[in-house]
Amino acid sequence: MVKDHVLAGVRAAIIDLDGTMLDTVPDFHVAINGMRAELDLAPISADAIKLMVGKGSENLIRTVLALDFDDAGVEQRFEQAMEGYQRHYLAINGQFSTLYPEVEAGLAAMQAAGLRLACVTNKPIAFALPLLKLKNLDQYFEIVYGGDSLPQKKPHPMPLLQVCADFDLPPSKVVAIGDSSNDAQAARAAACPVLTVPYGYNHGHSIHDTDSDGIVKTLLEAARFIGMQN
């Protein structure tokens, strides 16, 4: 359930990308194993990768390399691995990822209700923008910030506070919606209300253990709750 009155007066929403709008683990799987093959490393499973995503590309690649190397070995290979990963990812970006249920219906309902929408992701902006366009989601967002758009990324509150400033709205009127503790921590630090979805990638932890103002099954259900309190 969503806490009473927490969404009252909400006029905008900040929505996460990976694990919230799109299941992108299949894209990560192809790109990471392409990179690993270039380093003569064995492929790893999609389930393993699912536990690693969400904290930005640098963290992802270091975590992947740490499966095979100590800290010094990771740093020695990091630049080569990062270049390979980015090359493979850009070549297949969006080809294997799929929309979660009711994402587009939810975005359309929020837009129809007059909410202003921003996408804030820890994915590099060069990956995020083409992906949104390929999936026809770019039309819903006034603002898109990637993990490298600003000096700090989630769970730091900076990207959320930047959206609030862009929209000229206090954080109390801007709800964040995501699938992980990154989103919830950023929202709490920014003083934004926050809703979480029960699917997606939360670093192997139950979303029920995350401090949010409520769990919504889909973005369409989020739109309905926002509508009910406004």
pLDDT in tens, 20-58: 999 999 999 999 999 999 999 999 999 999 999 888 899
16 is in an annotated binding site: yes
pLDDT band, very low/low/confident/very high, at 85 (cuts 50, 70, 90) = very high
68 is in an annotated binding site: no
pLDDT at 4: 85
pLDDT band, very low/low/confident/very high, at 204 (cuts 50, 70, 90) = confident
* 118 φ/ψ angles, rounded to the nearest 5 degrees: -130, 145
179 is in an annotated binding site: yes
Please tell me the distance from the alpha carbon of residue 174 to that of residue 116, in angstroms, as a whole number. 9
Instruction: Select which of 4, 16, 27, 70 is catalytic.
Output: 16
Q: What is the pTM of this model?
A: 0.94
Look up tokens 């979303």; give the residue: 207
Is 23 considered catalytic here?
no
pLDDT at 219: 98
Give residue-wise pLDDT tens across range 134-144: 999 999 999 99
pLDDT band, very low/low/confident/very high, at 8 (cuts 50, 70, 90) = very high
Average pLDDT over residues 111-131: 97
